[in-house]
Chains A and B, each alone.
Chain A
């Protein structure tokens, strides 16, 4: 788990984290957002922009949490609904529903992806030593995408590993499952 914590740090902090030496105050900044009354955090350096919800163009035959694509100043950006992604109860999009546009690293370079969340709340400073390993949530939540837990003043923030969460493999796994199903059926 410690290595996971390290990856959650921005690169300049990484050496500190791996060395186990942490200076107070020198933390990583996270943008926190709310999803079904829970706070989640993404590394702020990954955030490109935050914009209000606008209708998207649906892409056929993709997982349901894949809301569609959006025109972001000429770039086609896929939009992922985080409630659906985490199998949370769905709610209507409201004026405070926001899209956090993130840049995600993958083998093929950087990709830009938008996350639909309930609302954006804060920016917090977290030093590496204040990041706790993820406890086992049981089956309700897949902890694979959570790189650690941070406690801010009031509540606990789940820090997301966006690269893992939004990797193409991850996002296509489900649709491929249905494709396979289709293939095996058609071959019969």
Chain B
């Protein structure tokens, strides 16, 4: 009877969390007042899957809890209950509680029974408040411990004659049923033949059973799981209402053997729109992606065979076809690489989908009217990047909601519509994904930011800064403009962490703001962490790769641009800006072909909003490089973010610009960092 269910448990959790996400999304989409039955159905199915699953796995607390929720949803679906804002909010809380419960169960931690009980009671109360829900009254008066399926079941169990041959014993089944509740058994011996004709190895008896108590349908199903095929079985709830629920979502009780695999597939077809797991170690890859990879591999094989045929009898007259073949090969490999990378890609929706809820909750809490508009939810990016960008995004959105967007009164005064708009945009640009958080709020208060920055000792008071520079001040560690610390933001542990997180992903953050018009935060991220667009530069014999994302331009200096500050190092003038020069060979060693700043090249790079000129011998090609870690076999090297393998098989190091700058500061302080002997 016992199957090791634990192997399916992880899948159950994954699917449940997905279900919860669906419920949340749909709940937020639900228009108060007019219930869209399709939306409610989706929510209902998600809830039902969780209930069913948790029952199967014996997670009764979850099953009980979901049951009440389901009842409420069912009434909404049948139009017996109005979709009120109160109900939606309560359901959202319920989703939260469920998520907490499932997380606690998954991690084997204590359930917050107080919170569960409170929410449970609220649900009950809401159910109670409607007279139309008389059919489910019995759940209302039951305590928290025995809510779900607190009803009686009528089970008609008529085994087929060969039941014993399959190794099953009805007595055991009856005993098991008895453990589920109060059992009334009536035996039906009408099929019993005369004693002479009785074959002791065959079964002729049937039973009519009444099961009272808190048994769930799933629990009963499980009891009969093994005999499902060997008997005529009908399980009916004594209450018609409960039967309706089951009949719709689970028309026939399925044998356990099948429902293990099928139960999951029904869950996926019923409740899941094509969405993949939000956070798990596995990825669901669309079959179209797999197919396209297979196609490309096919083409690659064709190209390969073409080339090998060509090679068998090669002479100079065939050079052109060889070149063509090589081009084909290059194209194939590049496409294949892109497709394989795409397998790791997921739509940014996964990072975005939490925001409707966040905005909903926060706008209520802060009494602001905010409309969230999202575009480009289908823009894809690497799964690893996605997981890490979530928190910084939440932070930016919270900041916009709290600091950026004004109260309705203030907006009215300023002649703006009372409802503020917060936009989340995502799109691809070059090899990057760009995510924008735009609000039409008050914009950054430049005077206040500057004053605060001076007060916090971040900038000297007598300095003149352009607005853009002032905006960048908010990215500095420890900066906060909030006069009061709210629970939303203002603790000053903010933007610098966001910037650091984004930078650790190889991305950048830009701030734009216009007083009275709002602000815009632009995050630029590489599509993947495994591949980087790099510019190869050389210093003497050595090649280094500089990430293209940090390069602004490359220039050849003329002597009038140079400005050598004694004791402070070298700077150059670029369009009214004086930028410091770092000689790559000073920091990394090596013997450059030239030490004359005018002979070599200057690569202008940006990091932390600071521009510097990086002095190198010359520029070589631009190419995509695969990032390899140095730490795997050695250790992290300051100023180096990794290594890559060039076309000729040699290794080139990838320069980490922020690391390089801090390393360079050490070097200028001590003179050339000596190689230790």
Contacts and interface: CB of A to CB of B under 8 A. Distances in A.
A76 interface: yes
B651 interface: yes
A55 B648 CA distance: 12
A69 B630 contact: yes
Interface in A131-188: 168, 171-172, 174-175, 177-179, 181-183, 185-186
Contacts, number: 100
A74 B651 CA distance: 10
B317 to A, nearest CB: 36
Interface residues of B, number: 34
Given A74-B645, A76-B633, A172-B635, A64 B651 contact: no
Contacts of B675: 61-64
Contact of B673 (A56, A70, A174, A178): A178
A61 B586 CA distance: 11
Interface in B396-413: none
Interface string B91-115: 0000000000000000000000000
A75 interface: yes
A7 interface: no
Contacts of B650: 55, 57, 71
Interface stretch (B170-178, B524-532, B662-670): B662-670
A25 interface: no
Nearest to B671: A185
A61 B587 CA distance: 8
Nearest to B639: A60
Interface string B248-292: 000000000000000000000000000000000000000000000
Interface string A72-116: 001111100000000000000000000000000000000111000
A51 interface: no
A63 B673 CA distance: 12
A83 B665 CA distance: 33
B276 to A, nearest CB: 29
A131 B651 CA distance: 40
Interface in B604-662: 628-630, 632-635, 637-640, 643, 645, 649-653
A181 to B, nearest CB: 7
B542 A168 contact: no
Contacts of B164: none
B651 A76 contact: yes
Interface in A43-72: 55-64, 68-71
A68 B670 CA distance: 24
Contact of A182 (B589, B645, B666): B666
Given A60-B589, A74-B645, A185-B669, A69 B651 contact: yes
B558 interface: no
Contact of B676 (A77, A113, A177, A185): A177
B677 A168 contact: no
Query: Which residue among B637, B652, B676 has the maximum number of chain A CB atoms within 10 Å of its CB?
Result: B676
B569 interface: no
A76 B677 CA distance: 23
A62 B663 CA distance: 13
B674 interface: yes
B588 interface: yes
Contacts of B367: none
B676 A111 contact: no
B635 A168 contact: yes
B666 A63 contact: no
Nearest to A185: B670
B637 A182 contact: no
Given A69-B634, A75-B633, A168-B634, A61 B670 contact: no
Contacts of A55: 650
B673 A59 contact: no
A186 B666 contact: yes
B637 A61 contact: yes
B633 A113 contact: yes
Contacts of B629: 76
B645 A174 contact: no
Contacts of A62: 637, 675
Contact of A58 (B589, B638, B665, B667): B589
A155 B542 CA distance: 42
Contacts of A69: 630, 634, 643, 651
A158 B675 CA distance: 29
B590 interface: yes
Contacts of A70: 651
Contacts of A181: 670
Nearest to A60: B588
B651 A61 contact: no
A71 B669 contact: no
Nearest to B634: A78
Contacts of A74: 628, 645
Contact of B643 (A63, A64, A76, A171): A76
B640 A183 contact: no
Nearest to A61: B673
Query: Which residue among A55, A60, A61, A174 has the maximum number of chain B CB atoms within 10 Å of its CB?
Result: A60
B673 A112 contact: no
16 contacts: A55-B650, A57-B653, A58-B590, A59-B637, A62-B675, A71-B645, A71-B649, A75-B628, A75-B632, A76-B630, A112-B633, A113-B633, A174-B677, A178-B674, A182-B667, A186-B666
Interface of A: 55-64, 68-71, 74-78, 111-113, 168, 171-172, 174-175, 177-179, 181-183, 185-186
Per CB-CB distance, the 10 closest pairs between chain A and chain B, nearest first, are: A186-B669, A60-B588, A57-B651, A78-B634, A185-B670, A174-B676, A182-B666, A111-B633, A182-B670, A178-B676
